[in-house]
Amino acid sequence: MLATELIYDYFGVMSDRCNFPQLLAGHGVRPTPVRLAVLEILGEAEQALRTGEILKRLRTRRRVNKVTIYRILEDFTARGILRKVSLDDRAAHFELACEHHPPHPHFQCLTCREVQCLDPVPLSRMWAEIQGPLGNRADRIDIRVAGQCHKCREGQ
Ligand SMILES: [Zn+2]
Ligand SMILES: [Zn+2]
Ligand SMILES: [Zn+2]
């Protein structure tokens, strides 16, 4: 398959909204309004979000307890619903880990700490190869690129 076909495939899948109640049911988790709101916020975000940012966005919609949200994020990560993108020890960033969001490399700005999701295509292929020939079981893959984002560069 040509690389361009893969890219179109990927964006085709991305444009479909995830079915969050179904996703939770598949993991044996009861779809409460708060749990669904966490997934919706991450589904709408174009980048991995840190806990504080998830909380801030949740609070525009409903009253939420910080500890509850921490617990939901850790529980979802342990179940493989979310992926924790840890680029440094300061703050974990979270993103959806469902079939529509395959593993991909990340870029972190060392000035504002924002984490951007990068094109997953070459990594997906690498992932498939890592899983395959040698009989290895790969559980996760992390590729991190650090630098300064365009917004911070313009602000200089
Ligand atoms: Zn999905
Ligand atoms: Zn920046
Ligand atoms: Zn990402």
Q: Report whether 48 contacts 95 (CB < 8 A).
A: yes
Q: Which residues surround ligand 3, an ion (CB under 5 A)?
A: 48, 95, 117
pTM of the model: 0.73
pLDDT tens per residue across span 68-123? 999 999 999 999 999 998 766 677 899 999 988 887 888 888 888 888 887 766 66
DSSP structure string for the chain: --HHHHHHHHHHHHHSPP-HHHHHHHTT----HHHHHHHHHHHH-SEEEEHHHHHHHHHTTS---HHHHHHHHHHHHHHTSEEEE-SSSS--EEEE-STTS----EEEETTT--EEEPP-HHHHHHHHHHHSTT---------EEEE--HHHHHT-
Query: For position 116, what pLDDT does the model report?
Result: 85
Mean pLDDT, residues 2-19 taken together: 48
Output the pLDDT for position 137.
Answer: 66
Q: How far is the CA of 81 from the centre of ligand 1 (A)?
A: 9
* CATH number at 3-154: 1.10.10.10
Neighbours of ion ligand 2 (CB under 5 A): 109, 111-112, 149, 152
Q: Say how many Å lie between the CA of residue 20 and the centre of ligand 2.
A: 31
* Domain spans in the chain, listed from the N-terminal domain onward: 3-154
pLDDT for residue 120: 66
At 14, the pLDDT band (50, 70, 90 cuts) reads very low
